[in-house]
Amino acid sequence: MKYRKLGKTGFEISEISLGTWQVGGKWGDDFSHANAEKILNAAVDSGINFIDTADVYSDGESEKAVGKFVKSRSERIFVATKCGRQLNPHVNEAYKPAVLRKFVENSLKNIGLEALDLIQLHCPPTEVYYRPEIFELFDRLKDEGKILNLGISVEKVEEALKGIEFENVTSVQIIFNVFRQRPAELFFEQAQKKNVGIIV
């Protein structure tokens, strides 16, 4: 396994990492903690040290499985989770600092770690990227020791470019594959200039 630095987080993470929708999403049958444990162990045994989850994957069960697993291993495993998609309706007006704070605190309880290595806004509406008070909340959460880093998970390149204007955004999760190449046109260069990590 090769490792590289995830932007200004300073984390040395595995180039291939593990997303955990499949251990706590809507695929297959009911959530299985035993199956989750097998997947997580196979990943870390292969050299993976970065696990990405979200509070909406099986209503927090994925976060619980990841947290329990991380505490069972001796290696340093970096954990990223996400917040915001629980909002219903999922609209700009529903994004409020107090609500997001509660989501972060609930994720901390689910995962059971002292601090979240990386909390990511989970594909918020575009208007959210024009609201500094949302991003300022995460500075306060960092000062309180509840998070180490803020990232964003985006659906559009424009959102990624706007998001990295905020100094406290340390990483961007974005779709990039053989069919979706647009991020390479401008975004990757801008992210590199700002030392922002990219998760694809």
| Per-residue model confidence (pLDDT) at position 28 | 53
pLDDT grade, residue 141 (50/70/90)? very high
pLDDT digit string, tens, across residues 159-182:
999 999 999 999 999 999 999 999
| pLDDT, average across residues 56-80 | 95
The share of the chain scoring above pLDDT 90, in percent, equals 90
Q: What is the pLDDT of residues 5-25, one digit of tens each?
A: 999 999 999 999 999 987 755
**pLDDT on residue 188:** 98
Question: What's the N-to-C CA distance of the chain in angstroms?
Answer: 17
Across 28-180, the runs of DSSP E, i.e. the strands, are 50-52, 78-83, 118-122, 150-153, 169-173
For the domain 3-199, what is the CATH superfamily, name and number? NADP-dependent oxidoreductase domain (3.20.20.100)
Peptide bond between residue 89 and the one before it cis (omega within 30 degrees of 0)? yes
